[in-house]
Amino acid sequence: MKQKETSLNTTEIKDQQFKQEDMGDNHASFSMETPLRDDAFALDDELKIELIEKHFKEIMLILGLDLNDDSLSGTPHRVAKMYVTEMFKGLDPKNMPAAKLFENRYQYKNMLLEKNISFHSVCEHHFVPIIGKAHVAYIPNGKVVGLSKLNRIVRYFAQRPQVQERMTVQIANMLKEALNTDDVAVIIEADHMCVAMRGVQDVTSSTVTSDYSGKFLDMKTREEFIKMIALQK
């Protein structure tokens, strides 16, 4: 009887793993908010690094790696510090860039585009890199934002486990709120290492997502945006 129950549990576990892996490539069902627990910021950064170091060390040991080797001995700490202070620091709202606005003294009323904003993120399904660039445009509504802030907003949302569709909308929503205008457009082009390194192992494909609102819903404005992206230096 016990053997039968064990066999059933194993089957259920394998079925659950299959469902999770199958869901991992289905982006459509995910919320536009990064999934966070209510106590996500209960621990300070130092304690997070300490705990991640401990657990990553266990992962390395399970994989059979010799942490007595000089090359590997400091890896758990390096990974933990990198996760908290670099790769995933966009999870913490305290690191959100302040989008300071300035008076539009030149009365500029046309499209402003910051293109080819490079970023590195991490796929939340497999925790491997997403490498890409973002094109962000808006039409001023009384005030303008410093150009570097557009880069910082992109990188803020990139520095967390991500889904590209969600990241595109998050960038657009923050800009609309900061600029007090719906006239915002975002296009992201990215290579996903979860596609290149595993599964189909396709190193040539890339993913493109977009978000248009306000005046960018007009086809002529949208076409201007796309043509400006295509302009060569």
Cα distance between residue 71 and residue 53, in whole Å: 16
Secondary structure (3-state) at 17: helix
Q: Which amino acid is at 157?
A: F
* Residue 194 a catalytic site member: yes
Which runs of consecutive H residues, i.e. helices, occur in 127-218? Answer: 147-158, 164-179, 193-196
Cα distance between residue 71 and residue 183, in whole Å: 51
Residue 27: pLDDT over 90: no
* Residue 124 a catalytic site member: yes
* DSSP code per residue over 74-95: THHHHHHHHIIIIITGGGSGGG
pLDDT digits (tens, 9 = 90+) for 148-197: 999 999 999 999 999 999 999 999 999 999 998 999 999 999 999 999 89
* Residue 162 a catalytic site member: no
Which residue among the candidates 114, 135, 159, 194 is catalytic per the annotation? 194
> Out of 28-32, 60-64, 119-123, 178-182, which region has the weakest mean confidence (pLDDT)?
28-32
Residue 11: pLDDT over 80: no
CB 187 within 8 A of CB 166: no
* Residue 55 a catalytic site member: no
pLDDT digits (tens, 9 = 90+) for 80-117: 999 999 999 999 999 999 888 888 888 888 999 999 99
The two tokens of residue 164 are 């590209």
Extended beta strands in 101-200, E state: 101-103, 112-123, 129-138, 143-145, 161-162, 184-192
Question: CATH number of 40-87: 1.10.286.10, 3.40.50.2300, 1.10.357.10, 3.40.1740.10?
Answer: 1.10.286.10
- Helices 164-179, 147-158: crossing angle, 10 deg rounding: 140
CATH topology of domain 101-230: GTP Cyclohydrolase I, domain 2 (3.30.1130)
Which residue among the candidates 114, 159, 170, 192 is catalytic per the annotation? 192
Which residue among the candidates 124, 159, 162, 170 is catalytic per the annotation? 124
- pLDDT at residue 106 in the model: 82
Q: What is the DSSP-derived secondary structure letter of residue 200?
A: T
- pLDDT at residue 85 in the model: 97
Domain ranges of the chain: 40-87, 101-230
Q: What is the 3-state secondary structure (H, E, C) of 45-59?
A: HHHHHHHHHHHHHHH
Which residue among the candidates 53, 114, 125, 162 is catalytic per the annotation? 125
pLDDT digits (tens, 9 = 90+) for 108-138: 889 999 999 999 999 999 999 999 999 999 9
56 or 33, which is more confident: 56
The two tokens of residue 132 are 């890409």
pLDDT band, very low/low/confident/very high, at 7 (cuts 50, 70, 90): very low
Cα distance between residue 111 and residue 232, in whole Å: 18
pLDDT band, very low/low/confident/very high, at 22 (cuts 50, 70, 90): low
Backbone φ and ψ for 229, nearest 5 degrees, come out as -65, -35
- Helices 75-82, 45-62: crossing angle, 10 deg rounding: 130
Q: Which amino acid is at 231?
A: L
pLDDT digits (tens, 9 = 90+) for 140-157: 988 899 889 999 999 999
Which residue among the candidates 123, 135, 162, 170 is catalytic per the annotation? 123
**pTM for the whole structure:** 0.85
User: Residue 123 forms beta bridges with which residues?
Assistant: 162
- pLDDT at residue 20 in the model: 52
Which residue among the candidates 114, 135, 159, 164 is catalytic per the annotation? 164
- pLDDT at residue 32 in the model: 83
